[in-house]
Amino acid sequence: MTRELFPNSPNKGEQARRGLLLAALEKFGQRGYDNASVREIADAAGQNVGAIAYYFGNKESLYAEVLKGIGGYLRSILGEYANELRGQLASGNLDPDGARTALKRIFRTMLGEQIDGDFYKVRSVMMREQASPSESFDLLYRETIRPLHELLTRILAVVTGEDPQSPMAIVRAHALFGQVIVFTLARETIRHRLEVPKLGPEHAAMIGDVIDEHIDSICRGFTLPQP
């Protein structure tokens, strides 16, 4: 649960292992699982091809380890705050205003990470997994994606007064979620449309402002009586 994708270590073997994991993340992200060859990954890590078999058994297990690392990293981003919110939800100490603020903070954090941070290395792997989930993706979904999605749904349900288990509440949370991750998933589209060579923190801030507005508007639809 550190902010490091893969923890460092003084051991020689562990360092080689870590180097392979980092190189694998990079190459899998850049070129996809199939296009990234084990030789290429080993070269990028300054290792021999055999090292992958030695440390991970085979290519697929290396990939599974990379996904595990991604899961831990993603959880670490929102980890403490998410637990805090879970506590407030459990004790009933989250009112609609607090829930609205929490949503905005979560989305801001996600946006910041996705546009700066090490996330860019993680992004492509995640996107490819959404397009064609591997067996290892199940683990990532169960341990990382679903808990976050459930948390979002429960927070939003505080605002809307819906049952957080109801399909509509889940769909609503997913739609809101979509407003954020579309800037990751369809990153090239928005980058082209804004005609910028690269999305930076200033874009993350502006996107955050727009999404804040939308969150406020949508929430107001529930707290204000319908006209």
Residues that bind DNA in the complex, under the rule CB under 7 A? 11-14, 16, 34, 36-40, 47-54, 57-60
**Residue 90 interacting entry, from DNA, its own copies, none, C-beta within 5 to 8 Å by type:** none
* Least CB distance to its own copies at residue 202 (A): 10
**Residue 40 interacting entry, from its own copies, DNA, none, C-beta within 5 to 8 Å by type:** DNA
Which residue in 45, 79, 180 sits closest to 123, CA to CA? 180
16 or 148: whose CB is closer to its own copies?
148
Residue 204 in contact with its own copies, rule: CB under 8 A: no
Tell me the C-alpha distance between 176 and 159, whole Å: 13
Whether residue 24 contacts residue 62, with contact meaning beta carbons closer than 8 Å, is answered with yes
Residue 151 in contact with its own copies, rule: CB under 8 A: no
Three-class DSSP labels, 39-98 = HHHHHHCCCCCHHHHHHHCCHHHHHHHHHHHHHHHHHHHHHHHHHHHHHHHHHCCCCHHH
Count of residues touching its own copies (by CB under 8 A): 55
**Residue 170 interacting entry, from DNA, its own copies, none, C-beta within 5 to 8 Å by type:** its own copies
* Least CB distance to its own copies at residue 139 (A): 13
18 or 128: whose CB is closer to its own copies?
128
Q: In Å, how far are 11, 70, 134, 160 from 21, measured between CA atoms?
A: 15, 11, 18, 43
